[in-house]
Structure 1
């Protein structure tokens, strides 16, 4: 049951009196098999399209109870787990919820380095920032949630607020189950300023244990497109209707272990584009796999993010690494990328404060689009008859790196505002 409470920050009683409840059917579930005697875990997946009138909404789901013996929550077996998301549509805006790419259940095997991801997609192009928050408990018909009793933030992870990278830091090993909650906050540029319009939470339990027999985590070591080596952190441009193939390479210091490669696709993509196909993985060798994605010709342009996981077969303390990967679906012809790069223009001054100028390679009036670091259009420009371009953004435009490019994608220039 989903509980939608309006204007909760103004008071619990009024929010409960005016709540909207929605029963959401389970879309599917996955059984994480009991390999090597491990406990069986069932992951349930729910998705729904909900229309709420303008207000400041808090959407809540409450689990019956948590596992007993959780180290960083008092009397956890008698504690419910409340998960919250927020939506501020008080101005009448339309917003799709962000969604975490990975819901894999982590396991920390000793205090070696672990790299995971807390990245969340946002199909509306909103900016997302990440933080640890206190888990909640106690939602009922007569009470609003409150912080979990006795909670303390476990010492195991560092979370990058910008990229969502979730990685371990050196810690003193105390075995047991722990809970942590990560919140992804959505920001949208409204009336010249950045406004928080929503948030989602990932509340998860994980196991920390000493390594009875040393098992090192596998690592991704290379990402290639043809003969070109790519950076996991850089978006990969693709065209609608194109088939893209990437080669994934991983290493494992433990000889003889079998590696499994997998891709993680957010449910929201399937809900919004039910006829679309998404990346698949085919294993090529002991240390390599091929990612293939046939981009649908009708898929809207924009950024699409997925998860990539490599997992070893050490029972019961398997090792794993998870990385996000980003594709930018664009109508710009990818085959012309080198020509566009050769025609990259220089802007002056760089960096600039109030205005910046640059020159196209040919005279004539041409249309250009200026986009920010997330690929969102922030300005439309037209060159003068002599091919020169002047951009004078208003004071509300935040400092940062922008890209101006011609409509045919053949010329582009980086614009750095400070």
Structure 2
């Protein structure tokens, strides 16, 4: 059976992430054989020249209790002490009705990662594994895996704030396209998008 491994479509790193600001990062991959892909978080591993397979798991450490600021309301929210894990490798919380809820949302279908780093600046290791499945004799069978481990750097909010997209105009559309909705196009159709945004560090519109 011939097989080609999935290929990551972007190698952009999520550098200079800002505390208390939501971020999206894409682990999206292309599979040339048309196999089905499933994205999942895995434990980071290390190796050396003696063990180049990088098969030694890195143990997760504990983090202390603390507070973060809700980027929407400005309210200070407390969170308890805990331990990092495969499902929670970054100190990332969102405020839900005044309560800190762990936030590490990895979409198993398309590889989109949504986090809101809080409280502590530093560097984290965020690995994601892609499992490749193919239907053989009527049964979905795991035929390959590929892993990408990226550095996740979190910095102080005094150096940067995220811009906010205020509107999205699609050429030929009758109305403004909602910024949080997919843009629907037909095969072969040319698409022109205009994004309008504001940056709180610049205090002026940008596009």
Task: Return the TM-score normalized by structure 1.
Answer: 0.35
Q: How far apart, in 1, do the equivalents of 2:160 and 2:52 lie?
A: 47
Residue of 90, 113, 116 corresponding to 1:154: 90
Structure 1 match to 2:41: 132
**1:168 aligned residue:** 115
Q: Paired residue for 1:177, among 86, 109, 123?
A: 123
- CA separation of 1:137/1:227 partners in 2, compared to 1, >3 Å: closer, same or farther? same
Q: Note the alpha carbon deviations across 1:101-149, whole angstroms, 9 max, x for none.
A: 3221213211111122222222322221111111222254567433343
For 2:151 and 2:21, the matched residues in 1 are separated by 19
- Residues 216, 252 of structure 1: 8 Å contact kept: no
**Which residue is 2:140 aligned to?**
194
Question: Which one of 8, 13, 30 corresponds to residue 121 of structure 1?
Answer: 30
Q: Is the 8 Å Cα contact of residues 124 and 151 (structure 2) preserved in structure 1?
A: yes
Structure 2 vs 1, CA of residues 180 and 258 (structure 1 numbering), >3 Å: closer, same or farther?
A: farther
Matches within 5 A, 1:231-242: 233=182, 236-239=185-188
SS in 1 for 2:186: strand
Q: What does 1:223-372 correspond to in 2, within 5 Å?
A: 224-227=170-173, 229=177, 233=182, 236-239=185-188, 244-254=190-200, 256=202, 286-287=206-207
More helix by share: 1
Instruction: Tell whether the 8 Å contact from 1:183 to 1:201 is kept in structure 2 after alignment.
Output: yes
Aligned in 2, Cα 1:190/1:104: closer, same or farther, shift over 3 Å? same
Change (3 A) 1:162 1:143: closer
2-side partners of 1:102 and 1:131: how far apart?
17
Mapping of residues 386-401 of structure 1, within 5 Å: none
The TM-score normalised by the length of structure 2 is 0.65
Please, what is the CA RMSD of the aligned residues?
A: 3.1
Distance (whole Å) between structure 2 residues aligned to residue 105 and residue 206 of structure 1: 8
Aligned length: 165
2: distance between equivalents of 1:100 and 1:207? 20
- CA displacement, residues 274-307 of structure 1 (integer Å, 9 cap, x when unaligned): xxxxxxxxxxxx41xxxxxxxxxxxxxxxxxxxx
2:11 is equivalent to residue 103 of structure 1: yes
* C-alpha distance 129-155 of structure 1, shift in aligned 2 (>3 A): farther
Moved more, 211-220 or 102-111: 211-220
Give unmatched runs, 5+ long, in structure 1. 1-91, 260-285, 288-418
Unaligned segments of structure 2, at least 5 residues: 61-83, 93-103
Cα 1:147–1:141 shift into 2, 3 Å: closer
Structure with bigger gyration radius: 1
Relative to structure 1, is the Cα distance of residues 252 and 143 closer, same or farther in structure 2, using a 3 angstrom cutoff? Answer: closer
- SS of structure 2 residue aligned to 1:134: coil
Summarize deviations over 1:210-264 as a string: whole Å, max 9, x none. 211562334384262422648864664324xxx62321414124274799xxxxx
